[in-house]
Structures are given as structure tokens and as C-alpha cells.
Structure 1
Amino acid sequence: MEWLIQYNKRYIFEMFSTSHILVLLLFLIGSVTIFIFRNKLKKVKWRPIEIGIALSLLFFEVAFHIWLLASGYWDASDSIPIELCSISLILTIVLLLTGRKLIYELLLFSALLGATQALITPVLYYDFPHFRFLYFFYTHVMMIWVALYFTWVKGFRPTIWSVGKVFIFLNVLLPIVILVNTLVDGNYMFLSHKPKTASLLDFLGPHPWYILSMEAILLSLSLFVWLLLREKGDKRAVVRKSN
């Protein structure tokens, strides 16, 4: 395993390095492209590509856990896929395969609020072209692009009830994650304690009160996303797509 350790040490990621900025530029260009060409994209049959992307995301997730095991890094305290972005990845795969409106609603908010923040301030140690770098940015970019694609190209739109659904969904997950944290001595979703590095949580009060602050921020940002992407001209913002 010595060769693997030495290989990993060759790639040290730095925030806002050249590789990071290039990925952010690619993400922005892709997002703008989806919006500008949304009407033309509606005329294309995307089903095979949707399935292909879903399978590629599944492949990356499985490969990531194989890499963790092979590297000796897999640990129940931080490797179980119950972080918000891990859940968003699962939602992305399910949405691409099923096209269910409820899955779209959950993904839209978790991706735009969670994955976007992760792209800007990634918790990452390996730079390009390390597999960990490719896995992190490919999955996070795709979460957001898929949510935007279903919004602008497929015609899905959030309603005010979508905000309630995602709020309930995350609060149902909350005790489950807390239980897992207790069992494996983990800190999934930062519910056990604040991260050791500087973060927004430093301004939200001590544990466990910052969890309530996080809930308030989640609700406020979710309402902002709804206002931004809701069906224009419909006061009730009723989504045309049915379950």
C-alpha cells in the first residue's frame, strides 16, 4: 500500500487554485448554457443521456467507496453516505431514472443549497487529476445541472409546498443522522459538533443551538429558491407536472 500512499500525497488540493477556478468556470458556463438554450434543448430526446448520466453517477459512487476501502480510509464515522450531498447524489440518480416530481422538489433545494456551497468551499484534499478530485466535482456539478435541467428544460417548477416538503424531509432525516452519529461516533451533517476548521457555523451559536439557526437559514434560503424558480404568472406557483 506504500505506493498508494505516495500517489495520494502527490496531489494536494488548494481552494481557489487554478484547477478549482477552472471547474467553477466550467460549472457556470454549463449552467448558463442550459438556461440560454433551454428551448432548443426541449426538442432533443434526452432519455438515453439521462440514463447514461445516472449510471455514471452510480459508477462514481461505487468506485469512491472501493477507493476508500482500498486506501484504508473507509470508516463508519465519516464514510456512510448520509451527508446532505450524498443524499442529493442518490436523489439525482433516482430523479434521472424515474422523473418523479417529488424527487425533483427534494433535489432542487438540497442541490442548490448544499452542492453549490460545497463547490465553492470544498472539503477536499486531492487535486486534479486524482480520482477523489474527479469524483467530488463531477458528482456535485451534476447534482446542480440535473436540477436546473429538470427546471428549465423539462418544465418542472417548485411550489410553496415544495419548501414544506424538503423541510419535513430533512427534519425526518435529522433524528436518524443523530442516531447514526451516536452509534459510530460521527459528525454527519455537523450535528454532533462544529467542524474543526472555520465555517459559517461559527457565527450561529454554540452546540446544539446552531442547529436551530441552520434550520432557520435553510427555510429562508428555500423560500428564496422558490421565489426565484417558481412558475411565473401563477400566484399559487402550481407545478404543471404531476406526480
Structure 2
Amino acid sequence: MKEYFQFPSKLDSFRLFSVQHLLTIGIIFVLCFLLFVMRNMLKKNRKRRIFRFSLAVLLVVSDVSYHLWLIKEHAWSIRRDLPLHLSDLVVILAVFMLLSRSLKLFQFMYFAGLGSSVQAILTPSLDKFSFPHFRYIEFFVSHGGVILACLFMVTAFNYRPTLCSMWVTIMLVNLYAAVVFALNKLLGANYLYTMKKPESASLLDYLGPWPWYLLSLELVMILSFYILYSPFWIKRRYQHKS
């Protein structure tokens, strides 16, 4: 049992799109699908309240337990473990979104939260933290939880992203990246991977060398945001024609 909590892990290296990875992605996909299947039930006030508070608690427990685990293992580092990666920051923001039911926060989270979390679960940086290590489970619970939180706001509250909010999110993400870049210089860190590519396999491997991959990543972000917005654009076009 101890080996599932060790840092560094002595398990086999995480393999991208292995059976365990694909099964985990499949479970998250099924849960997202069930949100839409059960959307009428989730619109009832009592069930909606229970779900959003339960999901918020799950995200808090997951995030806090991760940092407590690092501290216990004497592995927490200011250069690596501050919640400055976008996919880590949105876990915290998802909790506030669920508790406050903020439409403005949802407008940001739908693009930044969904986009970064989907990328995180597709190309996770887990080194030797393979299943069933604690870090593997915590990683997919937190990032999968963000995806569920964003889609829950769509299904249960009928919140909708807008094209304007998409470009506001792009602007905010770029401003945030500039601040993080300055912090990386100060701390000697690599949050948001603005200083160099991650050592494990990632999307950045296909986007050119530093610093050009930052420009390529900008284009990928815009394209992914348009893809996330497309279902609502298509629905609106269809309703307009009808």
C-alpha cells in the first residue's frame, strides 16, 4: 500500500493512451454524458444543490489532499507546486463557480477550464505516477471534476458561453501568462511551460522549439476555444433558421 503514496513513485512509468489511461478517459466521458441524460432531474433545486455542493467538496478534498501529501513526503516545492498552471488554477475557480453560481465566472471557465482540463487528461504529465498511485487518481479526479463542473452549469442552470466571452477569456489567459512568465523569472520555475517544454510527452512537442511554440500554442488555444463554442453556435444557427 505504501508504494501507492511514495514520492518519487517506484511504479512503472505512465504510458500515454495505455489501457488504464483510455479507461479513465472513458469513465470521465460517461459521467459527462450522464449529465446530459439526467439534465431534467438536475434542474430540480434540491438535486441541483446536492450535486454542486458535493462536486465542490470533492474538488476541495482532492486539491487539499494533494498538497498535504506533498508536504508529508517532503516534496512540496514553490518552483513546482503553486497552483499557477492554468489546469491547476481552474480547479480552485471551479469550486468558486459551483458555490457562487456566477455566470461571469462560468463564461471564463467554460473556455479556460474545459480547454485546459481536457488537454490535461489527454496528455497528463505524470512521470511514474501510474495507476493506482494516489497522484494518478487525484489528478484525474480534479481535472475530470472541472469538466463535470463546467458541463453541470450548462445542463442544470442553462448557462451558455458567448463569442464575446471567448475573446475576453483569450485576453485574460494571455495577461495571466505574462504575469506567470515574470514569476517564473523570479522563482526559476516553469509554470505554464513558458520557459521550456515539459519533460514528458505533451502537445508542445509538436509545436516547435522555444519560444516559437508559445505562438503556436496561442493558435491552438484559439482553435480549441472555437471548437468548444461550436455546439452553441450550430444550435443558434439552427434555431434562427427554424
| The 10-residue stretch of structure 1 (136-145 or 210-219) with the greater mean CA deviation from structure 2 | 210-219
Conservation of the 8 A alpha-carbon contact between 2:3 and 2:9: no
Task: Return the alpha-carbon distance in structure 1 between the equivalents of residues 202 and 221 of structure 2.
Answer: 16
SS in 1 for 2:59: helix
Q: What is the 5 A alignment of 1:133-212?
A: 133-212=136-215
Give the equivalent residue in structure 2 for 1:41: 42
Q: CA RMSD in A?
A: 2.6
CA distance 1:2–1:115, change in 2 (3 Å):
closer
CA distance 1:127–1:175, change in 2 (3 Å):
same
CA distance 1:44–1:231, change in 2 (3 Å):
farther
Match of 1:101 among 97, 100, 103: 103
Give the equivalent residue in structure 1 for 2:30: 29
Structure 2, unaligned runs of 5 or more: none
Task: Return the alpha-carbon distance in structure 1 between the equivalents of residues 115 and 99 of structure 2.
Answer: 23
Give the equivalent residue in structure 2 for 1:222: 225
Conservation of the 8 A alpha-carbon contact between 1:101 and 1:156: yes
Conservation of the 8 A alpha-carbon contact between 1:95 and 1:103: yes
Conservation of the 8 A alpha-carbon contact between 1:158 and 1:231: no
Give the equivalent residue in structure 1 for 2:236: 233
Q: Which stretches of structure 1, 4 residues or more, deviate above 6 A after TM superposition?
A: 1-4
Give the equivalent residue in structure 1 for 2:62: 60
Conservation of the 8 A alpha-carbon contact between 1:157 and 1:231: no
| The 10-residue stretch of structure 1 (71-80 or 123-132) with the greater mean CA deviation from structure 2 | 123-132
SS in 2 for 1:119: helix
Task: Return the alpha-carbon distance in structure 1 between the equivalents of residues 183 and 223 of structure 2.
Answer: 27
Deviation at 1:4, TM superposition (A): 6.4
CA distance 1:70–1:11, change in 2 (3 Å):
farther
Task: Return the alpha-carbon distance in structure 2 between the equivalents of residues 13 and 121 of structure 1.
Answer: 11
Deviation at 1:166, TM superposition (A): 0.8
TM-score if structure 1 supplies the norm length?
Answer: 0.86
Deviation at 1:93, TM superposition (A): 0.5
Deviation at 1:3, TM superposition (A): 11
Match of 2:75 among 73, 76, 85: 73
Conservation of the 8 A alpha-carbon contact between 2:9 and 2:129: yes
Deviation at 1:43, TM superposition (A): 2.9
Give the equivalent residue in structure 2 for 1:20: 21
SS in 2 for 1:81: coil
CA distance 1:10–1:201, change in 2 (3 Å):
closer
Task: Return the alpha-carbon distance in structure 2 between the equivalents of residues 192 and 101 of structure 1.
Answer: 33
| The 10-residue stretch of structure 1 (190-199 or 213-222) with the greater mean CA deviation from structure 2 | 190-199
Give the equivalent residue in structure 1 for 2:113: 111
Task: Return the alpha-carbon distance in structure 2 between the equivalents of residues 207 and 89 of structure 1.
Answer: 27
Matched, 1:50 2:52: yes
| The 10-residue stretch of structure 1 (13-22 or 160-169) with the greater mean CA deviation from structure 2 | 13-22
Q: Return the structure number with greater helix share.
A: 2
Q: Percent identity?
A: 30
Structure 1, unaligned runs of 5 or more: 238-243
